[in-house]
Chain A
Amino acid sequence: ILNVEQSPQSLHVQEGDSTNFTCSFPSSNFYALHWYRWETAKSPEALFVMTLNGDEKKKGRISATLNTKEGYSYLYIKGSQPEDSATYLCAFRRDNYGQNFVFGPGTRLSVLP
Protein backbone atom coordinates (compact mmCIF):
# COMPACT_ATOMS: atom_id res chain seq x y z
CA ILE A 1 0.00 0.00 0.00
CA LEU A 2 1.37 3.40 -0.98
CA ASN A 3 1.99 5.92 1.77
CA VAL A 4 1.34 9.59 1.07
CA GLU A 5 2.04 11.91 3.95
CA GLN A 6 1.27 15.55 4.54
CA SER A 7 2.67 17.93 7.10
CA PRO A 8 1.76 19.67 9.18
CA GLN A 9 -1.59 18.10 10.03
CA SER A 10 -2.99 21.55 10.81
CA LEU A 11 -1.84 25.09 11.24
CA HIS A 12 -3.19 28.45 12.23
CA VAL A 13 -1.83 31.63 10.72
CA GLN A 14 -2.70 35.29 10.89
CA GLU A 15 -4.18 37.10 7.93
CA GLY A 16 -1.34 38.34 5.75
CA ASP A 17 1.12 35.63 6.77
CA SER A 18 2.66 33.41 4.14
CA THR A 19 2.72 29.70 4.74
CA ASN A 20 3.69 26.44 3.16
CA PHE A 21 3.10 22.76 3.66
CA THR A 22 4.48 19.51 2.37
CA CYS A 23 3.28 16.40 0.60
CA SER A 24 5.60 13.37 0.62
CA PHE A 25 5.11 10.43 -1.71
CA PRO A 26 7.06 7.43 -3.06
CA SER A 27 9.80 8.56 -5.43
CA SER A 28 9.52 5.55 -7.73
CA ASN A 29 7.09 5.07 -10.63
CA PHE A 30 5.83 8.64 -10.46
CA TYR A 31 2.99 9.58 -12.81
CA ALA A 32 1.24 12.66 -11.42
CA LEU A 33 0.65 14.65 -8.25
CA HIS A 34 -2.52 16.64 -7.67
CA TRP A 35 -3.35 19.30 -5.11
CA TYR A 36 -6.93 19.84 -4.01
CA ARG A 37 -8.56 22.47 -1.86
CA TRP A 38 -11.39 21.24 0.35
CA GLU A 39 -13.61 23.74 2.10
CA THR A 40 -15.88 22.66 4.92
CA ALA A 41 -19.26 21.33 3.74
CA LYS A 42 -18.07 21.32 0.13
CA SER A 43 -16.33 18.82 -2.10
CA PRO A 44 -12.62 18.87 -2.97
CA GLU A 45 -11.68 21.05 -5.92
CA ALA A 46 -8.52 20.71 -7.97
CA LEU A 47 -5.82 23.34 -7.57
CA PHE A 48 -2.90 21.92 -9.51
CA VAL A 49 -1.96 18.95 -11.62
CA MET A 50 1.78 18.37 -11.56
CA THR A 51 3.54 15.88 -13.77
CA LEU A 52 7.20 16.76 -14.33
CA ASN A 53 10.12 16.99 -11.93
CA GLY A 54 10.76 20.64 -11.27
CA ASP A 55 7.21 21.68 -12.14
CA GLU A 56 6.10 24.95 -10.64
CA LYS A 57 2.45 25.96 -10.81
CA LYS A 58 0.81 29.18 -9.71
CA LYS A 59 -2.77 30.33 -9.28
CA GLY A 60 -3.08 33.77 -7.76
CA ARG A 61 -1.42 33.72 -4.34
CA ILE A 62 -1.07 29.94 -4.29
CA SER A 63 1.82 28.10 -5.88
CA ALA A 64 3.27 24.61 -5.81
CA THR A 65 6.55 22.92 -6.62
CA LEU A 66 7.37 19.31 -7.37
CA ASN A 67 10.45 17.15 -6.76
CA THR A 68 9.81 13.64 -8.08
CA LYS A 69 13.35 12.39 -7.45
CA GLU A 70 13.09 12.91 -3.71
CA GLY A 71 9.33 12.45 -3.51
CA TYR A 72 7.88 15.71 -2.26
CA SER A 73 5.77 18.67 -3.28
CA TYR A 74 5.36 22.00 -1.53
CA LEU A 75 2.26 24.19 -1.55
CA TYR A 76 2.80 27.87 -0.80
CA ILE A 77 0.22 30.50 0.08
CA LYS A 78 1.40 34.09 -0.01
CA GLY A 79 -0.41 36.66 2.10
CA SER A 80 -3.01 34.27 3.54
CA GLN A 81 -6.61 35.45 3.64
CA PRO A 82 -9.49 34.07 5.74
CA GLU A 83 -11.03 32.64 2.57
CA ASP A 84 -7.93 30.43 2.21
CA SER A 85 -9.08 28.49 5.27
CA ALA A 86 -9.60 24.93 4.06
CA THR A 87 -8.05 21.49 4.05
CA TYR A 88 -5.45 21.02 1.35
CA LEU A 89 -5.11 17.51 -0.02
CA CYS A 90 -2.43 16.03 -2.19
CA ALA A 91 -3.06 12.94 -4.31
CA PHE A 92 -0.34 10.77 -5.84
CA ARG A 93 -0.74 8.64 -8.93
CA ARG A 94 1.75 5.92 -9.70
CA ASP A 95 2.36 4.80 -13.27
CA ASN A 96 1.52 1.18 -12.60
CA TYR A 97 -1.55 1.64 -10.41
CA GLY A 98 -4.17 1.99 -13.07
CA GLN A 99 -5.67 5.43 -13.04
CA ASN A 100 -6.05 5.61 -9.30
CA PHE A 101 -4.80 8.11 -6.79
CA VAL A 102 -3.67 7.73 -3.21
CA PHE A 103 -4.59 10.71 -1.08
CA GLY A 104 -2.68 12.16 1.82
CA PRO A 105 -4.56 12.93 5.05
CA GLY A 106 -4.54 16.66 4.33
CA THR A 107 -3.31 19.84 5.97
CA ARG A 108 -6.02 21.88 7.65
CA LEU A 109 -5.31 25.61 7.38
CA SER A 110 -7.07 28.23 9.47
CA VAL A 111 -6.40 31.86 8.68
CA LEU A 112 -7.34 34.18 11.50
CA PRO A 113 -8.49 37.72 10.63
Chain B
Amino acid sequence: NAGVTQTPKFQVLKTGQSMTLQCAQDMNHEYMSWYRQDPGMGLRLIHYSVGAGITDQGEVPNGYNVSRSTTEDFPLRLELAAPSQTSVYFCASSNNFEGQGYSPLHFGNGTRLTVT
Protein backbone atom coordinates (compact mmCIF):
# COMPACT_ATOMS: atom_id res chain seq x y z
CA ASN B 1 0.00 0.00 0.00
CA ALA B 2 1.86 3.08 -1.29
CA GLY B 3 -0.42 5.73 0.27
CA VAL B 4 0.17 9.17 -1.27
CA THR B 5 2.91 9.38 -3.88
CA GLN B 6 4.34 12.69 -5.08
CA THR B 7 6.76 13.26 -7.93
CA PRO B 8 9.26 14.73 -8.43
CA LYS B 9 10.99 15.13 -5.07
CA PHE B 10 13.08 18.06 -6.26
CA GLN B 11 12.73 20.48 -9.15
CA VAL B 12 14.47 23.62 -10.29
CA LEU B 13 12.69 25.89 -12.75
CA LYS B 14 13.52 29.16 -14.42
CA THR B 15 11.09 32.04 -14.19
CA GLY B 16 8.37 31.64 -16.80
CA GLN B 17 8.72 27.89 -17.21
CA SER B 18 5.82 25.51 -16.65
CA MET B 19 5.61 22.19 -14.88
CA THR B 20 3.22 19.76 -13.27
CA LEU B 21 3.62 18.25 -9.84
CA GLN B 22 2.11 14.80 -9.71
CA CYS B 23 0.13 13.34 -6.84
CA ALA B 24 -1.48 9.92 -6.69
CA GLN B 25 -3.15 8.00 -3.88
CA ASP B 26 -4.27 4.37 -3.74
CA MET B 27 -6.58 4.59 -0.72
CA ASN B 28 -9.71 5.50 -2.67
CA HIS B 29 -9.91 8.83 -0.87
CA GLU B 30 -12.41 11.30 -2.23
CA TYR B 31 -10.73 14.37 -0.75
CA MET B 32 -7.35 15.53 -2.05
CA SER B 33 -5.51 18.79 -1.55
CA TRP B 34 -2.30 20.67 -2.23
CA TYR B 35 -0.41 22.71 0.36
CA ARG B 36 2.70 24.80 0.27
CA GLN B 37 5.10 25.11 3.18
CA ASP B 38 7.15 28.26 3.62
CA PRO B 39 9.54 29.07 6.49
CA GLY B 40 7.76 30.42 9.57
CA MET B 41 4.33 29.75 8.15
CA GLY B 42 1.86 26.93 8.49
CA LEU B 43 0.93 24.72 5.60
CA ARG B 44 -1.25 26.85 3.33
CA LEU B 45 -3.97 25.35 1.17
CA ILE B 46 -3.60 25.97 -2.57
CA HIS B 47 -6.41 23.91 -4.14
CA TYR B 48 -8.54 21.02 -3.12
CA SER B 49 -10.92 18.46 -4.56
CA VAL B 50 -13.80 16.56 -2.99
CA GLY B 51 -14.08 14.06 -5.82
CA ALA B 52 -13.37 13.38 -9.47
CA GLY B 53 -14.39 16.33 -11.63
CA ILE B 54 -14.67 18.72 -8.66
CA THR B 55 -11.99 21.23 -7.68
CA ASP B 56 -11.95 24.46 -5.74
CA GLN B 57 -9.57 27.15 -4.58
CA GLY B 58 -7.93 27.30 -1.21
CA GLU B 59 -6.17 30.13 0.53
CA VAL B 60 -3.37 30.77 -2.00
CA PRO B 61 -4.55 29.61 -5.45
CA ASN B 62 -3.01 32.28 -7.69
CA GLY B 63 -0.49 30.92 -10.18
CA TYR B 64 -1.64 27.31 -9.81
CA ASN B 65 -4.13 25.12 -11.63
CA VAL B 66 -5.46 21.68 -10.77
CA SER B 67 -7.60 19.00 -12.33
CA ARG B 68 -9.16 15.82 -11.00
CA SER B 69 -10.05 13.44 -13.79
CA THR B 70 -9.80 10.33 -11.60
CA THR B 71 -10.19 9.58 -7.91
CA GLU B 72 -6.53 8.57 -7.70
CA ASP B 73 -4.73 11.54 -9.30
CA PHE B 74 -4.61 15.23 -8.46
CA PRO B 75 -1.87 17.06 -10.40
CA LEU B 76 -0.84 20.64 -9.64
CA ARG B 77 0.26 22.77 -12.58
CA LEU B 78 2.37 25.89 -12.54
CA GLU B 79 1.89 27.69 -15.84
CA LEU B 80 4.36 30.57 -15.49
CA ALA B 81 6.66 29.86 -12.59
CA ALA B 82 7.75 32.79 -10.45
CA PRO B 83 10.39 33.03 -7.70
CA SER B 84 7.56 33.54 -5.19
CA GLN B 85 6.52 29.96 -5.90
CA THR B 86 9.76 28.61 -4.47
CA SER B 87 8.47 26.38 -1.69
CA VAL B 88 7.91 22.83 -0.53
CA TYR B 89 4.66 21.39 -1.84
CA PHE B 90 2.66 18.67 -0.15
CA CYS B 91 -0.24 16.68 -1.47
CA ALA B 92 -2.64 15.25 1.09
CA SER B 93 -5.73 13.08 0.94
CA SER B 94 -8.35 11.88 3.36
CA ASN B 95 -11.54 9.96 3.67
CA ASN B 96 -12.96 12.91 5.53
CA PHE B 97 -16.15 13.72 3.73
CA GLU B 98 -19.38 14.55 5.49
CA GLY B 99 -20.97 11.85 7.56
CA GLN B 100 -17.88 9.67 7.44
CA GLY B 101 -16.17 10.75 10.61
CA TYR B 102 -13.01 12.67 11.07
CA SER B 103 -10.25 10.85 9.23
CA PRO B 104 -6.84 12.55 9.32
CA LEU B 105 -4.93 13.78 6.31
CA HIS B 106 -2.41 11.46 4.68
CA PHE B 107 0.52 13.35 3.22
CA GLY B 108 2.91 12.67 0.39
CA ASN B 109 6.64 13.13 0.91
CA GLY B 110 6.72 16.58 -0.61
CA THR B 111 8.25 18.28 -3.63
CA ARG B 112 10.94 20.91 -3.09
CA LEU B 113 10.63 23.47 -5.88
CA THR B 114 13.08 26.26 -6.57
CA VAL B 115 12.31 28.94 -9.14
CA THR B 116 15.28 31.04 -10.19
Contacts and interface: CB of A to CB of B under 8 A. Distances in A.
Interface residues of B, number: 29
Interface of A: 1, 4, 32, 34, 36, 42-46, 49, 51, 89, 91, 98-106
Contact of A91 (B41, B90, B105, B110): B105
Interface stretch (B13-21, B61-69, B72-80, B95-103): B95-103
Interface in B1-53: 4, 31, 33, 35, 40-45, 48, 50
17 contacts: A34-B104, A43-B108, A44-B90, A45-B107, A46-B104, A49-B102, A49-B104, A89-B42, A91-B43, A91-B105, A99-B94, A99-B97, A100-B33, A100-B45, A103-B43, A103-B44, A105-B41
Contacts of B97: 99
B42 A4 contact: yes
A101 B105 contact: yes
Give the secondary structure class of B's interface.
Answer: loop
Q: Find the residue from B43, B94, B96 having the highest chain A CB count within 10 A.
A: B43
B109 interface: yes
Contact of B107 (A43, A100, A105): A43
Interface in B78-100: 90, 94, 96-98
Contacts of B31: 99
Contacts of A98: 48, 50, 56
A51 B110 contact: no
Given A98-B50, A99-B97, 15 more contacts: A1-B59, A4-B42, A32-B102, A36-B104, A42-B109, A44-B43, A45-B107, A46-B105, A89-B42, A99-B31, A100-B48, A100-B58, A102-B42, A104-B42, A105-B41
A99 B50 contact: yes
A53 B108 CA distance: 30
